[in-house]
Amino acid sequence: MNEGAMVVSIVAIACATSLGMAVINTIKAAIAGRGKRVDAELLTEIRELRTEVRQLRQQNNDLMLAVDNALDRRVAHLEPRMHAAPRPAETEQQLIHRG
């Protein structure tokens, strides 16, 4: 191989190497940029989910309070009946004589 061919070969190898490195760097940048976009999208979705969970917890608390208040009203309505004078229990003999 003569000197001119060696120089051309070395320049061609250097160009091919730099071109390969440029392609690899471009691919790495694309992957890194995509990761940042995914991270931003993921963070946005997590924030939305946290907001939704907060709303569901508030709704659950409101419903539990409503049920608790309804039970309190029902118990308050039944308590006077529980404290009223009990009826005398009928014996078997009284039930038999009635029948």
- Domain coordinates of the chain in residue numbers? 7-79
35, amino acid identity:
G
pTM equals 0.44
Sign, CA torsion 78/82/83/86: positive
- What does 84-97 look like in DSSP terms, one character per residue? SPPPPPPPHHHHHH
Q: Mind listing the pLDDT tens digit for each residue in 29-69?
A: 888 777 666 678 888 899 999 999 999 999 999 999 988 88
